[in-house]
Amino acid sequence: MPFAGSPAAVEEAFPGRLRALVLYGSRAREDHGEGSEWDVAAFIDRFDLGGES
């Protein structure tokens, strides 16, 4: 199953504020199964927990 998100989609949602997308977990280790989830951390400048989701 391909990853549904992309750096371009995150950049579009947070213009000029995306600093990094980090893949971690079983897919990053390349030992995932067919139904494994994608574990991705997005690092966004000036993210407001109260006003953004």
Domain region containing 12:
7-44
What is the arithmetic mean of pLDDT over 30-52?
89
**Token digits for 11?**
């950049």
SS3 for the chain is CCCCCCHHHHHHHCCCCEEEEEEECHHHHCCCCCCCCCEEEEEECCCCCCCCC
pLDDT recorded at residue 53: 61
pLDDT recorded at residue 1: 39
Has residue 28 been placed in a domain?
A: yes
Has residue 53 been placed in a domain?
A: no
Has residue 29 been placed in a domain?
A: yes
**Token digits for 31?**
């030992």
Has residue 11 been placed in a domain?
A: yes
Number of domains in the chain: 1
> Is the predicted pLDDT of residue 29 greater than 80, yes or no?
yes
Q: Which residues contact 33 (CB under 8 A, 6 or more apart)?
A: 26
pLDDT recorded at residue 16: 93
Contact 22, 41 (CB under 8 A): yes
